[in-house]
């Protein structure tokens, strides 16, 4: 490793992806008001792509100010289904309602990734994996929610594709790491290209 890497996210899925790839990095979750930023973005008629990138940038910038020598990685993800944006559910009841709304439909996980050094944005990437949720029964949904418990509150889609949530789907188009919130192959390619990691 030839550069200091910092992940500006508290997401365990993102941390696991980076650790599994052998990266040495620090974790510094950035405290930003995501709800306020999303409200402003909607009011300004910003696209989901631009909003996800804005959130990723705000996270990276917040951390990069205090560590200007590091490459700070910001990431964010928005779930979009038929023009509607979904947020992480706050309660099991909200998770249930969200999964009922997504059931039998396709949605896109707009996954934004941004690298910042000091006050300079040095790289960006957007991935858009598409997922087709199957027509599962209410009985299956009840069992799923009972078995997953609080885990359904940890992701924007109320599912973990790396776990029981895979049973909610008929098809997934796109890279698995992008679904989990951090497109690893593009990120690794950028880090190699800039000499941040060994090539």
Which amino acids are annotated catalytic? 76
Length of the chain: 199
In the structure, how many helices (H) and strands (E) does the chain have? 7, 8
The terminus-to-terminus CA distance of the chain in angstroms comes to 10
Strand partners, 106: 132
Q: Three-state SS for 3?
A: coil
CA distances to 10, 24, 86 from 155, rounded to whole Å, are 12, 25, 10
Identify the bridge partners of residue 116 per DSSP, sorted by sequence position. Answer: 72, 121
Report H helices in the chain: 12-20, 34-43, 48-64, 92-102, 138-148, 176-179, 184-193
């Amino acid at each position: 490793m030839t550069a200091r890497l910092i992940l500006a996210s508290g997401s365990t899925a993102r941390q696991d992806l980076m650790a599994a790839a052998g990266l040495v990095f620090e974790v510094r979750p950035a405290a930003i008001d995501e709800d306020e930023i999303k409200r402003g973005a909607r009011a300004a008629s910003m696209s989901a792509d631009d909003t996800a990138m804005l959130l990723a940038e705000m996270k990276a910038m917040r951390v990069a100010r205090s560590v200007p020598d590091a490459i700070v990685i910001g990431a964010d993800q928005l779930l979009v289904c038929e023009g509607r944006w979904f947020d992480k559910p706050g309660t099991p009841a909200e998770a249930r309602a969200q999964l009922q709304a997504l059931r039998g439909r396709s949605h896109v996980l707009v996954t934004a990734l941004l690298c910042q050094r000091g006050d300079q944005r040095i790289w960006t990437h957007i991935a858009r994996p598409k997922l087709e949720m199957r027509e599962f029964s209410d009985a299956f949904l009840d069992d799923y929610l009972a078995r997953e418990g609080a885990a359904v509150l940890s992701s924007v889609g109320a599912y973990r594709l790396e776990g029981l949530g895979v049973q909610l789907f008929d098809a997934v188009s796109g890279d698995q790491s992008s679904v989990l919130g951090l497109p690893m192959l593009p990120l690794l390619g950028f880090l190699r290209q800039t000499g941040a990691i060994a090539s």
